[in-house]
């Protein structure tokens, strides 16, 4: 029986964590709090120092991090970064032990996940694609939604780890399915943020008390997790990144390409993808995706 099978097992799996960004740092720290031994690697020394301060172990390379790991978890920005850390002589597949479980929690193309699973199988390494939704707040609070692609047995074994990171954990189908569902998630989130941003500008230009309006809207059918999480961003024009426009731009490219491949029309999604791209082109790529409000304000004649 695998030592992944139950979180109460006295010998929990040793975990390697690759990628300690806005999401990866709090997620890895939640595993440490749950009692897992976590060895991490990332490019920024200050983030390795943060992991060590939280009780983890900083590694000097990917190879060092994954060598003795039962589970390798990756959380990096996009498909090129996943491929860079997975493949090659210094990558995960060449250095992780046979039988290890690789859980990629990045948001990448479904095809990248399928290809990774095939390559890993040749090395005796099992793979799950397990992208998440919930943003920085969800990562910190360990309430993420985790959408998983892969084999049922691997999902069952990894479930205790996922339970330390999130609240809604679903196996969506075979390899790549998690990424397909995440692409749909990003479509819904972007359209929702855009609708909220347009409502904010409409309300303010109409002279309505914005705080009161958003409170009552969020109590009815117009309410959403997006509005709950981003309301203060809109009210305070606080666009400190929880999820950057640059990354949502990447995700909108994924969903529009994937939809085209299966013959699904995304008329509203295509417009919002262009609005995200426009905001990025104006130099706001490093801001939180709630900064779509800035684009609506510009279109409405405000100086921002």
Helices first, then strands: H and E counts in the chain = 14, 9
Residue 153 structure tokens: 């047995």
Residue 89, classified by CB atoms within 10 Å of its CB into exposed (0-12), middle (13-18) or buried (19+), is exposed
Which residue among 33, 97, 182, 250 is the active-site one?
Answer: 182
Between the alpha carbon of residue 264 and those of residues 3, 9, 184, 258, the distances in Å are 42, 45, 12, 9
Among this protein's residues, is 250 annotated catalytic? Answer: no
Report the alpha-carbon distance of residue 53 to residue 25 in Å, rounded: 12
Query: Checking phi first, is residue 174 left (phi over 0); if not, alpha (psi -120 to 50) or beta?
Result: beta
Please list the residues that pair with 288 across neighbouring strands: 244
Strand, coil or helix: what is 18?
strand
Report the alpha-carbon distance of residue 173 to residue 152 in Å, rounded: 9
Check: CB of residue 294 under 8 Å from CB of residue 193: no
Active-site annotation, residues: 182
């Amino acid at each position: 029986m695998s030592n992944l099978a139950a979180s109460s097992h006295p010998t929990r799996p040793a975990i390697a964590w690759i990628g300690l960004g806005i999401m990866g740092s709090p997620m890895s720290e939640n595993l440490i709090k749950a009692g897992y031994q976590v060895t991490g690697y990332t490019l920024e020394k200050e983030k390795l120092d943060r992991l060590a301060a939280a009780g983890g172990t900083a590694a000097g390379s990917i190879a060092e991090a994954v060598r003795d790991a039962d589970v390798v978890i990756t959380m990096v920005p996009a498909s090129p970064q996943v491929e860079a850390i997975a493949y090659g002589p210094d990558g995960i597949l060449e250095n992780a032990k046979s039988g290890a479980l690789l859980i990629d929690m990045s948001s990448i193309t479904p095809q990248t996940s399928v290809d990774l699973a095939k390559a890993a199988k040749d090395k005796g390494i099992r793979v799950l694609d397990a992208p998440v939704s919930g943003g920085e707040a969800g990562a910190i609070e360990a309430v993420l939604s985790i959408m998983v692609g892969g084999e049922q047995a691997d999902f069952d074994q990894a479930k205790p780890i996922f339970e330390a990171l999130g609240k809604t954990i679903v196996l969506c189908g075979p390899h790549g399915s998690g990424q397909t569902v995440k692409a749909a998630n990003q479509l819904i989130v972007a359209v929702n943020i855009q609708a909220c941003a347009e409502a904010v500008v409409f309300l303010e230009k109409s002279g309505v008390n914005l705080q009161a309006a958003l409170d009552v809207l969020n109590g009815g059918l117009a309410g959403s997790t997006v509005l709950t999480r981003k309301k203060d961003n809109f009210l305070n024009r606080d666009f400190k990144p929880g999820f950057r426009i640059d990354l949502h731009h990447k995700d909108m490219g994924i969903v529009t390409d994937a939809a085209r491949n299966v013959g699904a029309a995304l008329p509203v999604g295509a417009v919002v993808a262009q609005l995200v791209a426009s905001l990025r082109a104006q130099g706001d790529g490093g801001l939180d995706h709630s900064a779509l409000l800035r684009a609506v304000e510009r279109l409405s004649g405000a100086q921002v």
